[in-house]
Chain A
Amino acid sequence: MEVTLLLEATENAFRILERARAHAVGVLDTAVEFVAEETRYCDAKRCQVLFTGVQRRRTRFQNFLGTTFILFAFWMLLSGKFDAFHLTLGVICCAVVSYMFHDLLFANVRFGDMRIVAGRFIAYIPWLIQQILLANIHVVSLVVRRKMPIDPQVVTFKTKLETDISHVTLANSITLTPGTITMDIKDGVFYVHALSQKVAEDLNAGEMEDRVAHIFMEADHLYVQDVLDATRIYETLRL
């Protein structure tokens, strides 16, 4: 009698433990979802930024200052005269231009991310040049051969990128690489003309897209990183 009671009790305890674990896993699930939601260019944050006037004004001011700095660097590059009169003229002109066009340069980029984005973009350029050289060699090898084994085709793929600036970067990278030309972007679908099967396969492998997503910290890229982090937490929990 007591043994069955004991067994029942232990079974109950196990069930409770199981439920607790399921609950913990559920909580972690929602936490991961929450983190992923937070890290993407989330609508909530955007709405918050839009609806709180102070933050909006701050964003505008930051955009204004950033635009002024960039334009003033451009001005100094052009002008080459560093006396007080011309520098004052430059500051006034750049401030006026930034006041008129403060919403254009940083339209879809959060200002805090700018430094990271710029650094990653500069790091992306050598890789792009290397890709261009490789593609050049490939296209030359196609053209020089007597049979000229080209296989022109149109590749369409749906991109995972979200912002317009990343779309443009990817499209221009594809066009810069010999053998491929971006013909159109419609609702996130790229229509790319590819010269040969190899080029098309390279395109479908999507390394360039991953790298562009990495530059602009797009949602899917971060999401993958989050899942990798979360699996580590899961494993430690399971042990």
Chain B
Amino acid sequence: MIRESDDVIVKTLARLLVPFIVAYALYVVMHGHYSPGGGFQGGVILAAAFVLLGVSHGLEKTRRRMSEKVAGIISSIGVFIYGGIGLLCLILGGNYLHYGKLSKILGVDTAHARSLGILGVEIGVALAVMAVMCTIFFVLFTVGESPEDDGSVE
């Protein structure tokens, strides 16, 4: 169990940096189809922000923002978005993840529909990766303890 760090410098700088890291991660996800980056990279940066918060402010405070339960739900939602978009293309008469077919329901031309479809898939991937990374982090650092413990194990 990671307790709250007693180093004021680490704590304060982590507090100031976390919003910027998350914003940067979202930028990487949202611009994935124009520039380097994408769902996986953005998701990992997102998870890094939570890991930084957990290391500096302790797991208890991190759980208030991202608990194991929420992480599990979000990872499922991410996979659902990915698979949902793929299946939607199948239903509309194309192949799996054939984004061009999405132009029928989005009401834009094929090229634009591909761009939007890739964006949606990337958001799904980012959510799934972020949640799974957070879950791994939580599991590794609470090994051998149940969440009901007070964290008295050194």
Q: Is A50 part of the contact surface with B, judged by Cβ < 8 Å?
A: no
- Please pick, from A74, A86, A105, A167, the residue contacting B16 in the complex, using a CB distance under 8 A: A105
Cβ contacts B1-24/A at 8 Å (1 or 0 each):
000000111011101101110111
CB distance from A115 to the nearest CB of B (A): 18
Q: Is A81 part of the contact surface with B, judged by Cβ < 8 Å?
A: yes
In whole angstroms, how far apart are the Cα atoms of A74 and B34 in the complex? 18
Q: Is A28 part of the contact surface with B, judged by Cβ < 8 Å?
A: no
B27 touches A67 (CB 8 A): no
Q: Is B30 part of the contact surface with A, judged by Cβ < 8 Å?
A: yes
Name A's interface SS.
helix
- Please pick, from B8, B19, B24, the residue contacting A104 in the complex, using a CB distance under 8 A: B19
- Contact of A171 with B9 at beta-carbon distance under 8 Å, contacts A93-B26, A93-B30, A94-B23 already known: yes
Cβ contacts A34-63/B at 8 Å (1 or 0 each):
000000000000000000000000000000
B interface residues, tally (CB under 8 Å): 20
Size category of the A interface is 20 to 34
A101 touches B18 (CB 8 A): yes
B12 touches A164 (CB 8 A): yes
Q: Is B31 part of the contact surface with A, judged by Cβ < 8 Å?
A: yes
Which residue, B9, B11, B13, B65, has most C-beta atoms of chain A within 10 A?
A: B9
B9 touches A104 (CB 8 A): no
In whole angstroms, how far apart are the Cα atoms of A102 and B129 in the complex? 24
- Contact of A97 with B30 at beta-carbon distance under 8 Å, contacts A168-B8, A171-B9, A172-B9 already known: no
10 nearest A-B pairs in the assembled complex, by CB-CB distance: A93-B26, A101-B19, A168-B12, A71-B23, A164-B12, A104-B15, A97-B22, A78-B27, A164-B8, A89-B30
**24 A/B residue pairs, CB under 8 Å, sorted by A:** A74-B24, A75-B23, A75-B27, A79-B27, A79-B31, A89-B30, A93-B23, A93-B26, A93-B27, A93-B30, A97-B22, A97-B23, A100-B22, A100-B65, A104-B18, A105-B16, A164-B11, A165-B12, A167-B12, A168-B9, A168-B13, A171-B9, A182-B9, A185-B9
| B residues adjacent to A (C-beta < 8 A) | 7-9, 11-13, 15-16, 18-20, 22-24, 26-27, 30-31, 34, 65
